[in-house]
Amino acid sequence: MAREFTSVGVVGLGTMGAGIVEVFARNGVDVVAVEISDGALERGRANLTGSTDRAVARGKLAEADRDALLSRVDFRVGLDALHSVDLVIEAVPEHLDLKQRLFAELDRICRPEAILATNTSSLSVTEISVATGRPNQVIGIHFFNPAPVMKLVEVVRTVVTSAEVVADVEALCARLGKVDVTINDRAGFIANALLFGYLNHAVAMHEAHYATREDIDAAMKLGCGLPMGPLALMDLIGLDTAYEILDTMYRRGGRDRRHAPAPLLKQMVTAGLLGRKSGRGFYTYERPGSPKVVPDERTPATAGPALADGARAIAKVGVVGSGTMATGIIEVFAKAGYEVVSVTRGAEKSAKVCEAVKTSLNKGVVRGKLSEPDRDAALGRVTWSATLDHLADVDLVVEAVIEELSVKKALFASLDEICKPGVVLATTTSSLPVIDVAMATHRPADVVGLHFFNPAPVMPLVEIVRTIRTSEETTATARAVCAALGKTGVVCADRSGFVVNALLFPYLNDAVKMLEASYSTADDIDHAMKLGCGYPMGPFELLDVVGLDVSLAIQRELYLELREPGFAPAPLLEHLVTAGYLGRKTGRGFRDHTRR
Ligand SMILES: NC(=O)c1ccc[n+]([C@@H]2O[C@H](COP(=O)([O-])OP(=O)(O)OC[C@H]3O[C@@H](n4cnc5c(N)ncnc54)[C@H](O)[C@@H]3O)[C@@H](O)[C@H]2O)c1
């Protein structure tokens, strides 16, 4: 029989604690909510009522249920109020000495059978537990932010946590409507170990002026379907908390440089820019604690004339290539009203591409997304050719041929001879340096990367890659074209992986390393990222879809260019590729797809 938890204590009512109180009280558990001072208690109460009022306003919680929820919470200053609860969970700041002192106190105050839990993100639960006389009743219960929304709980057992305590806490999680994964005590557990390297990398990109905060966030949301961009997520987590988590992970997790907090973080914390909770972090919020972003001096001018400033007029577009990307890009331009010249290496290939574009447009008609006249008009705008000479009078060329530098360079040299002056020459490369391609021409200022995502007609993102030779005018033109296509263009510098791949693939590679180290299973790791962080797919699901060979190639490029030891491809990934387990396309990758 699992233990009954009728009343629990929550210590610290900040970002996480207030959310945890809400989770318990919503599920009928009485809560003693403790803070350190009257002022902090009032802020904690405001955190809770703010969140429940928003839930009522959104129709997610009935007023009567909110009132019942709030009536279950007993707000108190000081730990003595916790003398008779069945379980205490603390969510005080991420400092080991603070948590150890707190646990020693709780051990003295709480009933001998009470379970003592920590919501720490990165500290050692074992080290916290030995501050008490009951380490076998100490456990990690790691909720995700915002606690009332995120389904996942990581249950962290130490080498001495008793099996009954683990089982009781697992049953409690189920009662709270959460999905738990139970794991051993390791820095960052599953989700944060995979998340924080990525978040820190995004901060470093921003710090290096590699791309703007809006563009970094838009890239990850639109390119990977994440619920939030990394910088907005840092603001939600709290920059002080994020700093402490990174610092602890750096020290506990083998001094991986990727966890050494970006210098900008320290500066922002020192300046009191803590994110949402202080009203300002990477973004500015309506007021402290508010989720609403308001414009500030760094907010870019949106659409309208400002965007088109300096852009060249584009009416006729050449698309070179006959693969998946070229086909999608032809469709995107034709549907947006551009005249398109498709150039392939032969009539047969042109016929195939033409067929593929037709099929895709027809699908749009069947799905009711495109009218028949619009389909016919789009097709009517495309001319099919097998010679580059037909690109003499286009305004923009988008190259989407094979990912080989020598081939792309030769093509750009030809384009340089054929195209009229003032044309924007774009490459869709996803891994080669755009500057190499640009320098194959005599007009590097007119060369830019336009990195479309697959499938191009569906994916809303385009990375606009600016080399050190790309002119402002060319970048402005690329932006205006993306806007006219209905895509979000994010501008970034010419570095391996641009924004999305540079942030995404090291995380996937880290997941493989975690699996390789037998810390957890592929299923639990996938669960953790989906339910704890709201990712649309877990890392192993995504790797199988993208292809392990493609993922390995991208990871190798990143490693070669940045020489970051943490980016070294996971040996398990290399072995799977060698064995021909490439993912869905071969029927087997991390999972066997032939049996489903
Ligand atoms: N922020 C996140 O996204 C997140 C997610 C999961 C876990 N965590 C973990 O949760 C814990 C709390 O983080 P947070 O972001 O909520 O911090 P926070 O700074 O928002 O809140 C901490 C609260 O603890 C209170 N406090 C400090 N000392 C206290 C004491 N001695 N007794 C009682 N209350 C005290 C403070 O007044 C404050 O209200 C940390 O261990 C953190 O790693 C955070």
Instruction: Determine the distance separating the centroid of ligand 1 and the alpha carbon of 555, expressed in angstroms.
Output: 36
Instruction: Determine the distance separating the centroid of ligand 1 and the alpha carbon of 17, expressed in angstroms.
Output: 6
Q: Is 555 in the pocket of ligand 1 (CB under 6 A)?
A: no
Instruction: Determine the distance separating the centroid of ligand 1 and the alpha carbon of 36, expressed in angstroms.
Output: 11
Atom 15 of ligand 1, residue of closest alpha carbon = 15
Atom 1 of ligand 1, residue of closest alpha carbon = 237
Is 142 a catalytic site residue? yes
The single residue of 22, 154, 214, 399 carrying the catalytic annotation is 154
Q: Is 532 in the pocket of ligand 1 (CB under 6 A)?
A: no
How far apart are alpha carbons 425 and 577 in whole angstroms? 35
Q: Is 13 in the pocket of ligand 1 (CB under 6 A)?
A: yes
How far apart are alpha carbons 106 and 579 in whole angstroms? 53
Give me the residues of the chain with pLDDT under 50, please. Answer: 304-306
Both structure tokens of 135:
């380490």
Residue 120 Cα: closest atom of ligand 1: 41
Q: Who contacts 10 (Cβ-Cβ below 8 Å, separation ≥6)?
A: 17, 20, 21, 24, 31, 32, 33, 34, 88, 89, 90, 91
Atom 2 of ligand 1, residue of closest alpha carbon = 237
Q: Is 40 in the pocket of ligand 1 (CB under 6 A)?
A: yes
Q: Is 15 in the pocket of ligand 1 (CB under 6 A)?
A: yes
Q: Is 104 in the pocket of ligand 1 (CB under 6 A)?
A: no
- What pLDDT score was predicted for residue 308? 56
Q: Which strand (E) or helix (H) includes residue 51?
A: helix 38-57
Both structure tokens of 204:
């470093």
Atom 27 of ligand 1, residue of closest alpha carbon = 92
Q: What is the DSSP letter of 584?
A: G
How far from chain centre, in Å, is Cα 31? 33
- What pLDDT score was predicted for residue 305? 47
Residue 37 Cα: closest atom of ligand 1: 37
Q: Is the peptide bond before 455 cis (omega within 30 degrees of 0)?
A: yes
Q: Is 11 in the pocket of ligand 1 (CB under 6 A)?
A: yes
Could you give the maximum distance between any two Cα atoms of the chain, in Å?
Answer: 85
Q: Is 41 in the pocket of ligand 1 (CB under 6 A)?
A: no
- How many other CB atoms are there within 10 angstroms of residue 158's CB atom? 19
Mutate to test the pocket of ligand 1, among 10, 11, 16, 195 (most ligand atoms within 8 A of CB): 16
**Residue 291 · residue 15 · CB < 8 Å:** no
**Residue 427 · residue 447 · CB < 8 Å:** yes
Q: Is 238 in the pocket of ligand 1 (CB under 6 A)?
A: yes
- What pLDDT score was predicted for residue 301? 75
The single residue of 51, 90, 129, 142 carrying the catalytic annotation is 142
**Per residue in 37-49, pLDDT tens?**
999 999 999 999 9
Strand pairing partners for 31? 8, 73
Q: Is 274 in the pocket of ligand 1 (CB under 6 A)?
A: no
The single residue of 119, 122, 124, 192 carrying the catalytic annotation is 192
Q: Is 539 in the pocket of ligand 1 (CB under 6 A)?
A: no
- What pLDDT score was predicted for residue 302? 66
Q: What is the DSSP letter of 563?
A: -
How far apart are alpha carbons 553 and 569 in whole angstroms? 9
Q: Is 145 in the pocket of ligand 1 (CB under 6 A)?
A: yes
Q: Is 249 in the pocket of ligand 1 (CB under 6 A)?
A: no
The single residue of 119, 121, 350, 509 carrying the catalytic annotation is 121
Please name the residue that has the structure tokens 């150890």.
100
Atom 28 of ligand 1, residue of closest alpha carbon = 92
Is 154 a catalytic site residue? yes
Instruction: Determine the distance separating the centroid of ligand 1 and the alpha carbon of 214, expressed in angstroms.
Output: 28
Mutate to test the pocket of ligand 1, among 121, 278, 531 (most ligand atoms within 8 A of CB): 121
Residue 102 Cα: closest atom of ligand 1: 31
Q: Is 278 in the pocket of ligand 1 (CB under 6 A)?
A: no
- How many other CB atoms are there within 10 angstroms of residue 554's CB atom? 23
Atom 10 of ligand 1, residue of closest alpha carbon = 91
Sheet holding 138-143, edge to edge: 73-77, 30-35, 7-11, 87-90, 115-118, 138-143, 152-157, 179-184
Residue 122 Cα: closest atom of ligand 1: 43
Quote the pTM value.
0.92
How far apart are alpha carbons 523 and 257 in whole angstroms? 28
Q: Which strand (E) or helix (H) includes residue 106?
A: helix 96-109
- What pLDDT score was predicted for residue 596? 60
Residue 244 Cα: closest atom of ligand 1: 43
Both structure tokens of 165:
């305590």
